Amino acid sequence: MTETKNSGVSDICNLCPKKCGVDRDLKKGFCNQNNDIKISLYQLHKFEEPVISGKNGSGAIFFCGCNMRCKFCQNSKISRGGGKTVTNEELTDIFNKLINMGTNNINLVTPTHYTKKLSEILENKFTVPIVWNSSGYELPESIKLLNEKVDIFMPDLKYSDNDLALKYSFCGDYFEYAKKAIEQMVKQTKPLYINENGIMQSGVLIRHLVLPGQITNTKKIIDYVSKTYKNDVLFSLMFQYIPFNLNNNDPLNRKVNKREYDILTDYLFSSDIENGFVQELSSANKVYIPDFAD
């Protein structure tokens, strides 16, 4: 019997909630990527939360492709294409280069669609924490592949409102999947630990980007995190939203205003969440967006 290398059966991709079911050796998935790892940029990133960036910076590696299609995506230049292909060995060399540059951690940005390959690379042990920086739209089964390989999970928790998620990110099941994924992240990481230099070494940091006019969406996120995790995780309330690629009459085609900022920061401070961060409104500035390579 003649063997075939790519049957399209054994290697079908069901890494994320989209469950494309395609053989990414043969065609691209919903993430717009095949099985070859593509990156756009790696650098010492100074603009993450203080416990991630610190003084030295976070060794951020920006992967191309994404399993969401956010209409307002500020990284659309790479989330829908671009970048260059790297082998497992080349990516490992980048890890080590960043470590030699003095990074606090290796920060894998939008890595979900490469989970299987990255889990193989992370069989190697590195001298700094590994950060999994994702949209939160993931499967618990895929997160399990990273057990004892990722030290810090840094998921977004974008939406509590699935209608909003469907309209702007084409994932009307976002909240249900993100909750399950984060639950698994918390389950399989070590407890939250920040060292004497103020740098996070383990645990989960949940991020929520505030969208203009969506106060209820954010309040429900705060309620959920407060009730479910309290101080077992860090929580970051982010006000860096800048409208991209939207029609002039779209409700999200503006920045968050001072009134919304005051309402939501007051709501957070009145919750049971004690540990975390709040961005200033001045964070909504294009100067903080990396210059991604084509």
Mean pLDDT of the residues in the chain: 93
> What percent of the chain shows pLDDT beyond 90?
87
**pLDDT one-digit tens code per residue, 223-282:** 999 999 988 999 999 999 999 889 999 999 999 999 999 999 999 999 999 999 999 999
**pLDDT one-digit tens code per residue, 100-148:** 999 999 999 999 999 999 999 999 999 999 999 999 999 999 999 999 9
Domains of the chain, each with CATH number or no CATH: 19-286 (3.20.20.70)
pLDDT of residue 216: 98
pLDDT of residue 76: 78
73-82, 145-154, 157-166, range with the lowest pLDDT: 73-82
Q: Does the pLDDT of residue 2 top 70, yes or no?
A: no
Q: Does the pLDDT of residue 212 top 90, yes or no?
A: yes
Q: What is the mean pLDDT of residues 83-93?
A: 96
**pLDDT one-digit tens code per residue, 7-26:** 333 479 999 999 999 999 99
pLDDT of residue 8: 34
Q: What is the mean pLDDT of residues 43-61?
A: 97
Per-position DSSP letters for the chain, written without gaps between them? ----S--SSTTEE-SSTT---EETTTS--TTS--SS-EEEEEEEE--S-HHHHTTT-EEEEEES--S---TT-TTHHHHTS--EE--HHHHHHHHHHHHHTT-S-EEEES-GGGHHHHHHHTTS--SS-EEEEE-S---HHHHHTTTTT-SEEEEB---S-HHHHHHHHS-TTHHHHHHHHHHHHHHHSPPPEE-TTS-EEEEEEEEEEPPTT-HHHHHHHHHHHHHHTTTSSEEEEE------S--TT-TTSSPPPHHHHHHHHHHHHTSS--SEEE--GGG--GGGS-----
> What percent of the chain shows pLDDT beyond 70?
95
Q: Does the pLDDT of residue 50 top 70, yes or no?
A: yes
Q: Does the pLDDT of residue 194 top 50, yes or no?
A: yes
Q: What is the mean pLDDT of residues 37-53?
A: 96
